[in-house]
Structures are given as C-alpha cells and as structure tokens.
Amino acid sequence: MKKWICVICGFIYDEAEGLPEHGIAPGTRFEDLDADWVCPECGSPKDAFEEYED
C-alpha cells in the first residue's frame, strides 16, 4: 500500500486508510479512485498528486 501527496496543499491520501468519511474504503489504491476524484482539501485533480514516502 502506498501514500500519495497533493503537491498543492500537502493533503496525504493513504491507500491503507482510504477515506471512509468520503465513501472510499480502506485499501483503495490511488489508481482505482475515479478519474474525476479531487483532493478533499483543495479540490485539485488527481494529477496534482505524487507518490509520497515518509
């Protein structure tokens, strides 16, 4: 499982956790999010995200 970061606002999408409060189940891979999914913090599209290693 990977993490992805929004390069605009720094929001981190953690595949292991998903976003249950937005209807995205834990374990949902980033590539499986809808193409029109946007960053829940700043509204940027998927292509504003990069893989993130902490």
What is the contact surface with other proteins in residues (CB under 8 A)?
5, 7-10, 40-45, 48
C-alpha torsion sign, points 31, 26, 37, 44: negative
Q: Which does 33 bind (CB under 5 to 8 A by kind): other proteins, Fe ion, none?
A: none
CA distances to 15, 22, 49 from 41, rounded to whole Å, are 16, 12, 12
Size of site (CB under 5 A) for Fe ion: 8
Is position 11 an interface residue for Fe ion (rule: CB under 5 A)?
A: yes
Which 8-state DSSP code applies to residue 3? E
Cβ-based nearer residue to Fe ion, 9 or 16: 9
